Structures are given as structure tokens and as C-alpha cells.
Chain A
Amino acid sequence: ETGVTQTPRHLVMGMTNKKSLKCEQHLGHNAMYWYKQSAKKPLELMFVYNFKEQTENNSVPSRFSPECPNSSHLFLHLHTLQPEDSALYLCASSQEAGLGNSPLHFGNGTRLTVT
């Protein structure tokens, strides 16, 4: 177990659907992240939350909406997605955001397919 749990593992949705990805960490960390991993591209940072406050939004389209109700839970709400949004979405946590010497702990990701 990685200490970071993501659900669902796989998701297929149409372009008009609304769905949510869930992430939960059991490590007592204060920072949580959403990353997008597409084939042949570097890992893309999407959002950062530190002590429940959003500290970074990396120019992500508004069809992706994050929510962090507490330091242990992170959601990514999806609506009106495009086929190019198909990717592996990874959640990660760390002791505190902005501390570059703090390793990231990743979940196993949600494989999203937009049809």
C-alpha cells in the first residue's frame, strides 16, 4: 500500500458527463497534488493544496475543478471533458508544499478515457 489511495482506478466518460476523482492519504501530510500523465510527455502539475488552501493552479482549464475539504482528502471534479484529456491522473501528498526536499508519495492513479 502506498498510503495514498485513489478511486476509481479506471473511468470511461463521455464528453457531456460529470464525474469526480477521489484521493485520500493516510500519511498525516499537509500538502496534496494533482498531476496529469500523458504518453510521451513529462508529468504535468495541475493543482497544489497546502493545509487545505490552493497554492498553485497551473493554468488548468476550468473543466477541471479541484476540491480539498481537509488535508487528507482531495477531489478532482470533471465536466465537459475533451478526448485529449484522456490520461492517467495521479494524486500525491507530501509533508508540506513548497519544501523541495520533501518527497512526494503517489497514489496508483485513475486511468481516464474520454469518449
Chain B
Amino acid sequence: SQQGEEDPQALSIQEGENATMNCSYKTSINNLQWYRQNSGRGLVHLILIRSNEREKHSGRLRVTLDTSKKSSSLLITASRAADTASYFCATDAGNSGYSTLTFGKGTMLLVSP
């Protein structure tokens, strides 16, 4: 069953603006990961946030996690045309020490020059 669901499905902004994407999930998680996929390519891991963390930064990326609302957000600051891609959240909800990632449908981000 689908665990993470991204919102919005598509986002179009101008270079220099910030882009915010959200991810909601249904069951408790151990951690949540964000990935980027450029057209026709594989997914690239961006950042992992654990269930006991609330915020994490990596360069121009900022990820927040609210376990009470079962949601996460990915903020890309000062966006560039090269940030144009699809962004996916993936949740790890396994127990007993074994788990696999479940991906959402993704948010397609278009950054115009």
C-alpha cells in the first residue's frame, strides 16, 4: 500500500524563488528520505531524517518532519533551473529491524530561468 504521498503533484516557479514540497504518510515511521529524479534518469538520494529529528539541512535543502501530523516538507531555497526534476519522499515503516522503503508518486518541479 502507498505510504508517502507528495503534494503538490506539480510546482512551477521562477529561478531564485523557494520551492516547498510536502509529504504525508499514514503509519508510524523509523525515518523518511527524499530523492530527486531528473527526466529519464534514476533517483538520487538527497537527505534522510530520522523519526526523532525535527529538522535537517543540506546545502540549499531544508527538511522538516512532524511525526504528530505524519508529514514532512522539503524546502529548496534560491532555486535554479538545474533543480528542475521530480522529487519523491520515501518512508521506512518496518519493524522487527527489517524494512523496505515505500515511495510516493512524486512532485514535479519546474524552475524557469
Contact = CB atoms under 8 A, between A and B. Distances in A.
Given A40-B105, A98-B99, A98-B100, A104 B30 contact: no
B43 A100 contact: no
A4 B88 contact: no
A49 to B, nearest CB: 12
A104 B101 contact: yes
A40 B6 CA distance: 12
Interface in A1-50: 2, 4, 6, 40-43, 45, 48
B40 A108 contact: yes
B103 interface: yes
B42 interface: yes
> A interface, by DSSP: helix, strand, loop or mixed?
loop
Contacts of B43: 43, 90, 92, 104, 106
Contacts of A106: 42-44
Given A43-B88, A103-B33, 9 more contacts: A42-B105, A90-B42, A98-B100, A100-B99, A101-B48, A101-B50, A105-B45, A106-B42, A111-B40
